[in-house]
Chains A and B, each alone.
Chain A
Amino acid sequence: MQLTQKNIKNNNLLLNIHNLNVFFKTPEGISHVVKDANFNLKKGTCLGVVGESGSGKTQTFFSITGLLANNGYVEGEAFFKDTNLITCDDETRRGFLGKSIGFIFQDPMTSLTPHLNIGDQLAEIAIYHKKINKNKALKKAIEVMDIVKLPSNRDIINSYPHELSGGMKQRIMIAISLMCEPDLIIADEPTTALDVTTQAEILNIFNDLKNNFNIGLVLISHNIGVIAETSNEVLVMKDGQILESGETAKVLTKPKNEYTKHLLSCIPPWIGN
């Protein structure tokens, strides 16, 4: 506790997670899917989270952003700057979400509202949080579309999600998260649903964001190659536990844990170094 209090004084620190536990009530009883997670994230750095599917990566970050399913609950501390996201009221948490914390999901095909056009979905977040008018919000939308390398023209603004490709939708999702100039972006398997070329382009965007905008980035992936390319630090998760954590270069070159070694043996040799 003392330690936590001191850490949050460090204003480079964005996220400070302490003894985080996530549970689900199920018909078979209570299942414990994240066990005593502890980690930090600094501004301008990227934290990679790897682990096989079902290891608790997604639920870790859903739990601190209030996105858990109805049967889930969370214990522990999750400081964003100096607010504990676990104990603060819903309104305070909503004040951070979308404004200072952006979330990008795995499945771009279904993550946008089908009956609203792209302009509306980009603009609403700025109108809602910053109380600006729609014209200003749309100007901002054009700006962020440029950052995610979308042609910043009216055609896309006026189109509907079903008219765009998966890669374009994921760029829109990233653009949405950038509308209010956030401090933290959590990207949950942002490239898993995309083809390889598009994957590389999207990862480049994340690299730019981290380097040029001083954004803290959490990049979740079951693909250790993706993590190796982008992250400064890495968490290796299995069955809800963080098995190993540290600087990406160190963990990937001299893994201590058997499971990490196993994961590394699964990536083709031309990725890495």
Chain B
Amino acid sequence: MRITMIKFITKRILIAIPTLLIIVAFSFSMMRVAPGGPFTNERALPPEIERNIKAAYNLDKPVYEQFYIYIKNLTKGDFGPSFKYKDFSVKELILNGLPVSVTLGLSSIIISLFIGSFLGIIAAINRNTVFDYSVMGVSLVGICVPSFVMAPLLSLFFSLYLGILPTSGWNNGNILNLILPITALSLPQIAVISRMMRASTIEVLNSNFIRTAKSKGLNQSYIIRKHVIRASILPIIEYLAPASAGLMTGSIIIEQIFGLPGIGRYFVVGALQRDYTLVSGVLILYASLLIFLILITDIIRAILDPRVKI
């Protein structure tokens, strides 16, 4: 088991390298194709100054050479200098925003997973009751209302109207500042996860092996714990990677709305201002995170379901 696991993980990391390379190449060329450059201004720079700046950032070299230099530096863990935040390297900016984004993303995914699964199971056990209908009704709203609509509504109500939570800012990760952004990010995921969990739990509850468990005289809570959850959580585990992707894109907007100094903000600023290295850097980070999450998902699946061979 352990050896096949190590083999599996090594294989997946090796596959991840070309995937990342393609993503880097793609983002690199997308940025070059977009009109304008990092130093395009309202007022044109004197030609000799522009030439000097371009030379400093290697922009005077042919594109394929720029790409080669970029990749070479990447292998050394160097994401290059930011074109817009002049005194910072991309790595510094990312490391700066990472704690904020990770706190936000990780709390949201954990909260969505727990609350969503819990609500789904309870709804499935009590299906066609008031509880079931309310959870499903509210979750429908959660799915339909995107987080960039939910966020201002939440902040309107809790910050401006009730005045119990701050409207924005990071405030060194104060829990009060985190509540609204995490809620806005999690609600759509809780909605999706609770519906998936309800459906899969109902399917499991109707399966023959649960009938066997009942015929063994086991009580309901025991059956749910030992026989139901591990089977019904499998679709949720598979949904983890797409959910995280959703959270990442969601957090780009949420960080803007709540004025949080996370990575998402650099991504938006970088894209708007043609900060080539910053955008590529953030993109590589997002892609690696997703690849890592998919790997984790597959490992959890193999642990939960003995039929899955890795």
Contacts and interface: CB of A to CB of B under 8 A. Distances in A.
Name the residue in B207, B211, B304 with the highest tally of chain A Cβ atoms < 10 Å from its Cβ: B211
B217 A115 contact: no
Contact of A98 (B209, B211, B216, B305): B216
A-B pairs with the 9 shortest C-beta distances? A97-B217, A98-B217, A98-B216, A103-B215, A110-B208, A94-B217, A160-B306, A113-B209, A115-B230
B222 interface: yes
A213 interface: no
A220 to B, nearest CB: 14
* SS of B interface (majority): helix
Contacts of A173: 212
Contact of A111 (B209, B217, B226, B305): B209
A112 interface: yes
B289 to A, nearest CB: 29
Interface residues of A, number: 31
A112 B213 CA distance: 8
Contacts of B214: 66-67, 97
Contact of A110 (B209, B215, B217, B306): B209
Contacts of B213: 113
B211 A67 contact: yes
Nearest to A94: B217
B231 interface: yes
B212 A112 contact: yes
A82 interface: no
Contacts of A107: 208
A42 B226 CA distance: 35
Given A115-B230, A115-B305, A160-B306, A110 B216 contact: no
Contact of A65 (B208, B209, B215, B227): B215
Nearest to A108: B208
A93 B212 CA distance: 15
Contacts of A113: 209, 212-213, 226-227, 231
Contacts of A239: none
Interface of A: 65-67, 91, 93-99, 102-103, 105, 107, 110-117, 124-125, 128-129, 160, 162, 173, 176
B227 A129 contact: no
A97 to B, nearest CB: 3
A152 B260 CA distance: 62
B218 interface: yes
Interface string B253-279: 000000000000000000000000000
B221 interface: no
A208 to B, nearest CB: 22
Contacts of A94: 217-219
29 contacts: A66-B214, A67-B214, A93-B217, A94-B218, A94-B219, A95-B217, A96-B217, A97-B214, A97-B216, A98-B217, A98-B218, A102-B215, A103-B215, A105-B212, A111-B209, A112-B212, A113-B209, A113-B227, A114-B209, A114-B307, A115-B230, A115-B231, A115-B305, A116-B226, A124-B216, A125-B216, A125-B217, A128-B217, A176-B212
Contacts of B212: 103, 105, 111-113, 173, 176
A103 B213 CA distance: 10
